[in-house]
């Protein structure tokens, strides 16, 4: 089963068992996010990446400038351990780490979840890259990705899936990052960007890898 087939299998398993009214709320929230104009606010190639200093899953500080001093960065935004689509995406990206490193780049994930939850998924999947804790989605907001869940969707998450983001995030915002990936060169300039309001859609990183090879060759 390839990555796209895996995503389709997850979708069929989850949505096939959902009450119709909950499914309507979830699809409606996704459509509203698409229509909100959020995509227009996302940082584009040619723009400067916001600097950061965040704790990883082991609660060690990770500084963006120190990372860039060593090479390019591939940054993926991760919703949380409770999201099967996100977990499948991380597992798929894990397969590309050797190739990313060979091109002189480093992969990191960024999530609003507290480090103990990031540690959980890192250990479960034996991830070979760091996941950084983005408190209050501040870095996600700087990239133009932060959005707040509507009240009816909060009810679905809580009642149907037993998801409480106040626990996962340590705040009461009920905000998430829109799934996205960025490639940043050593100068801190974004070379590639992709974002998707529909959290169920996760592209294979083939196009990103092609751009990364070109960026690596220009350094």
How many degrees, rounded to 5, is the angle at CA 151 between CA 149 and CA 154? 65
Q: What is the pLDDT of residue 122?
A: 96
Q: What is the pLDDT of residue 156?
A: 94
- The pTM score is 0.94
Mean pLDDT in consecutive groups of 10 residues from the start of the chain, 219 residues: 92 92 96 96 97 97 96 96 96 94 95 96 95 98 98 94 96 97 96 95 87 69
Q: What is the pLDDT of residue 218?
A: 60
SS3 state at 47: coil
Judge contact between 33 and 197, C-beta under 8 A: yes
SS3 state at 20: helix
CA 84 to mean position of chain CA atoms: 12
Number of structural domains (the chain) is: 1
Question: Can you give the CATH number for the domain in which 51 is found?
Answer: 3.40.30.10
CB atoms within 10 A of CB 116: 13
- Could you list the residue range(s) of the whole structural domain that residue 89 is in? 3-218
Q: What is the pLDDT of residue 16?
A: 92
d(CA 134, CA 129): 16
């Amino acid at each position: 089963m390839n990555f796209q087939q895996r995503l389709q299998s997850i979708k069929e398993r989850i949505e096939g068992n959902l009450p119709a009214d909950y499914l309507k709320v979830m699809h409606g929230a996704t459509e509203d996010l698409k229509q909100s104009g959020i995509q227009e606010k996302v940082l584009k190639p040619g723009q400067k990446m916001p600097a950061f200093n965040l704790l990883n899953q082991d609660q060690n500080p990770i500084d963006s400038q120190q990372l860039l001093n060593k090479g390019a960065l591939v940054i993926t935004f991760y919703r949380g351990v409770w999201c099967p689509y996100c977990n499948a995406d991380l597992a798929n990206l894990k397969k590309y780490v050797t190739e990313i490193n060979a091109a002189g780049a480093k992969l990191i994930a960024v999530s609003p979840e507290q480090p103990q939850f990031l540690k959980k998924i890192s250990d479960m999947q034996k991830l070979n890259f760091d996941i950084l804790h983005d408190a209050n989605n501040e870095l996600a907001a700087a990239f133009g990705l932060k959005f707040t869940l509507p009240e009816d969707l909060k009810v679905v998450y809580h009642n149907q899936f037993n998801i409480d983001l106040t626990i996962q995030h340590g705040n009461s915002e009920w905000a998430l990052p829109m799934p996205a990936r960025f490639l940043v060169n050593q100068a801190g300039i974004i070379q590639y960007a992709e974002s998707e309001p529909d959290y169920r859609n996760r592209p294979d990183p083939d196009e990103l890898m092609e751009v990364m090879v070109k960026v690596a060759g220009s350094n």
